Structure 1
Amino acid sequence: MTCPSCHEDLPPKARFCSSCGTPCAAPAAPGDDERKPVTVLFCDLVGSTALSGVLDPETLRTVTLRYFEAMSERIVAEGGTPEKFIGDAVMAVFGVPVVREDDARRALAAALGMREALARLNEELHATLGIRLTTRVGVNTGQVVAGGDATARQALVSGETVNIAARLEQNAGAGEILIGPDTLRAAGPTVTAEPTGPLRLKGKQDSVEAYRLLALGTDDPAQLRRFDVPFVGRDAERDALDAALAATVRDGRAGLLRVTGEAGVGKTRLVREWLARGAASGTLAYGAGRCRSHGEQGTLTPLADALRSLP
């Protein structure tokens, strides 16, 4: 058994990777199908047939493999699974074999990352071969029937969600990323997208709403919250934070302070206000890191983020 993220060898019954902390799930046995929510991504080359007229077969194969490699790298980096390669198309799923709370957002981040990766690849291809590749992408979220072996790419997911993702990709313009309404809702408020209007998709009697993905903002919860009301009634808590900082400075040693409480009582607001006050007075400089819903980047990532963000 290996980690799906860092590929570290693991004990057969490991639930988490001891190296990077990624949740580990054994591939489903053949026939062990189940319904589950996933996000499906399709990416296809635009005008690939024309490439065969300007490139010899060996060069075309090399270019195609480079393209697949660049796209797969971004999919895996965001926690997705490249399920299959169909002609010039890549199909990926987010939510199989491991389900995460932000699979829809990950798929959109992968789609944007794939576009950036293609731009970098195009610089090299244009310099060496005088060509540029263009893609179109479709992303959809919903229930699928999942089963088979994820590592062998065998019958991973099937269902209407997959079909709509493929149709969205086919209706996208060159360089565009079209997403379904369920993906837009599931990805959260940081998505910037514009409606394309109802689309008539092949095989669907009713029109389908679609959106053109424009950008993806930060997923930092502290940055997503707006504090439009005065900050009052936390003098005792701020005094406790001040005392803890003063003790750390006096003793010359690192310290650890936990702020705990029920959801919604104002932990984030308290810490943000305290840090902002200290920074404004010039008595405090700080860096910030946070634990995400996944551990692909290692268990010390929050500490590394905090150190990198120090002024």
Structure 2
Amino acid sequence: MAVCPACGKELPGQFPFCPYCTAPLIGEGREHRKTVTVVFCDVTGSTALGESTDPEALRALLARYFERMRGIVESHGGTVEKFIGDAVMAVFGVPVAHEDDALRACRAAVEMRDALPELGVQARIGVNTGEVVTGTQERLATGDAVNVAARLEQAAAPGEILIGKETLRLVSAGVEVGPVDPLELKGKAAPVPAYRLVSLLDAPARSHASRFVGRAGELALLAEAWQRAIEESRCEFVTLLGEAGVGKSRLVAELLAALDVRSVQGRCLPYGEGITYWPVVEVLKQLDALPSDPAAASSIRSLLRETDAVTSAEEIAWAFRKLLEEQAPLVVLFDDIQWGEETLLDLIEGVAVLSSGAPLLILCVARPELLERRPSWPVSVRLGPLPEEEVEELIGGQVTAGLRERIAATAGGNPLFVTEMLAMAGETDDVEVPPTLRALLSTRLDQLDPAERRVLECGSIEGEIFHRGGVQALAPDELHITPRLAALVRRELIRSDRAVFAGDDGFRFRHLLIRDAAYDALPKAVRAELHERFAGWLELRGGQLVELDE
């Protein structure tokens, strides 16, 4: 049965739009090439289990097993693609990619393994990451990554999890692995590297090892906010907004290092159960104190599950605010609040607006997606790309002139992109894009409205610089090209640029990596068709080239 490529739900029939999420279902772009992580989990000894177990009891046992495995996979944001006999095939990254899909898959695999004893079965698990084709009529992701995941599962011992090399590259900081000899897998010409997943590690702190360049103006704005809080004995509310990798966390780290001030911080998690107040609990544990008011202290104890007393969101917010006021002067950092639930965002705003008589700096860090949920959220500092000269300073003399130029052009002023590519720089002038950045870019694409993504993909056919007319030629049934392009500008994926053709609008991808990600996601057959159509449009417009100033 066909599925919607946007929301992943099965379609009850042929429709021009998904009846669940209204995504368009006609035209190019239904199929995509995506990097996903595949998990295979198969019961071992099922034949012997069948011989020794009554058929009805066996059926009930396997039903519990399948239900539990599906629940675990879905709780980590994965999708169960199918059940094959006693095996479960799950995919992370379909229908929507997350930047930590590989780590989610490993977390799910560990939880699946740990659940086996109570279910009364033994199983082996394989995890592999690679490129597949998704969004096909038959729903299932297809590609070598799927086959290798199945082979890893077959090579694992009962109770063991084997992960592939590409998976390890994405999760190396978050897992502990054991050595395994390269595997001779059926259908593979060469031995395949594999690793035994032993355990999960705590999330590593963000590294700030690279040099800090620029941002003097933004750093001064944050420091001035703290100075006002001290001088006026008030609460200052500052939100620092910027895309992933642009240097928000590094800027905050530099601020706190420069200020001689006590600070606490909490970070929102992208998914999980019972995480509404996760950042608040982190802050409370660092403060290691309770409000002096008995009622407020009772609410905090209830939140920390130190008492059975019942409390409410209003009481928690009030109690938390009172505690911060008593602990002032204090900087309170809330990171990644674009993932925060509405209750948490209301709490943060309430603390900022209602606190009085105490020097506090409530500093929030977020990606632009926050404003899609809360358009009225006040933003104090927008962190944009580094200018060209500061990118040059960040790269330094570590690489050849040719590679330095390529990295600068590819990164588009994003410090994370620069440092990650520098870390992988080799002896040639070729730029290698780390898998972590590919995952991040894929996530940004999957967050787009399907129509916006189609426009972006059509633009990628022309290149880093493209034109509204070219997009219209490649998507003739799209009636709202200009609003879609404007939305992509607001999302900071593209920006206006000088047109090469008279009477047209020009645009440029903010990062060459975004253009490459959009282009690479298109199936090769679709690329070929779009290139042919673009060549026809270009032939018609060739005489309208505008002479550009050098």
Report the TM-score, using the length of structure 1 for normalisation. Answer: 0.70
Alignment-derived partner of residue 246 in structure 2: 263
In 2: Cα distance, 1:27 partner to 1:94 partner? 22
AA aligned to 1:142 is G
Alignment-derived partner of residue 129 in structure 1: none
Higher RCO (CA < 8 A, seq sep 6+): 1
Alpha-carbon displacement from aligned partner over 1:241-287 (angstroms, at most 9, x marks no partner): 64355478x34xx6522346893483242355479x644xxxx6x34
Cα drift, residue 160 of structure 1: 1.5
SS of 2:110's equivalent in the other structure is helix
Q: Check the 8 A contact 1:70/1:118 in 2, yes or no.
A: no
Does 2:174 match 1:211?
Answer: no
Alignment-derived partner of residue 189 in structure 1: 173
Alignment-derived partner of residue 55 in structure 1: 53
Q: Which has the higher helix share?
A: 2
Distance 1:191 1:270, change over 3 A: same
Q: Residues 1-311 of structure 1: matches in 2 within 5 Å?
A: 32-119=30-117, 122=118, 132-148=120-136, 154-219=138-203, 223-225=205-207, 239-240=223-224, 242-243=226-227, 245-246=229-230, 250-251=233-234, 255-259=236-240, 263-264=246-247, 266-270=250-254, 273=257, 278-279=261-262, 286-290=264-268, 292=270, 296=271, 304-309=277-282, 310-311=284-285
In 1: Cα distance, 2:109 partner to 2:25 partner? 25
Cα drift, residue 200 of structure 1: 0.3
Distance 1:26 1:107, change over 3 A: farther
SS of 2:267's equivalent in the other structure is coil
In 1: Cα distance, 2:231 partner to 2:121 partner? 59
AA aligned to 1:70 is R
In 2: Cα distance, 1:201 partner to 1:33 partner? 29
AA aligned to 1:137 is I
AA aligned to 2:253 is R
SS of 1:139's equivalent in the other structure is strand
Q: Check the 8 A contact 2:183/2:194 in 1, yes or no.
A: yes
Identify unmatched segments of 5+ residues in structure 2: 10-17, 286-550
AA aligned to 2:238 is L
Report the TM-score, using the length of structure 2 for normalisation. Answer: 0.42
Distance 1:3 1:155, change over 3 A: closer
Q: Check the 8 A contact 2:125/2:161 in 1, yes or no.
A: yes
Q: Check the 8 A contact 2:76/2:272 in 1, yes or no.
A: no
Cα drift, residue 203 of structure 1: 1.8
Cα drift, residue 219 of structure 1: 3.7
Identify unmatched segments of 5+ residues in structure 1: 6-10, 16-24, 126-131
Q: Check the 8 A contact 2:175/2:197 in 1, yes or no.
A: yes
Alignment-derived partner of residue 350 in structure 2: none
Q: Check the 8 A contact 1:287/1:308 in 2, yes or no.
A: no
Q: Percent identity?
A: 41
Q: Check the 8 A contact 2:72/2:112 in 1, yes or no.
A: yes
Cα drift, residue 12 of structure 1: 5.5
In 2: Cα distance, 1:203 partner to 1:244 partner? 67
Q: Check the 8 A contact 2:102/2:129 in 1, yes or no.
A: yes
Q: Check the 8 A contact 2:7/2:95 in 1, yes or no.
A: no
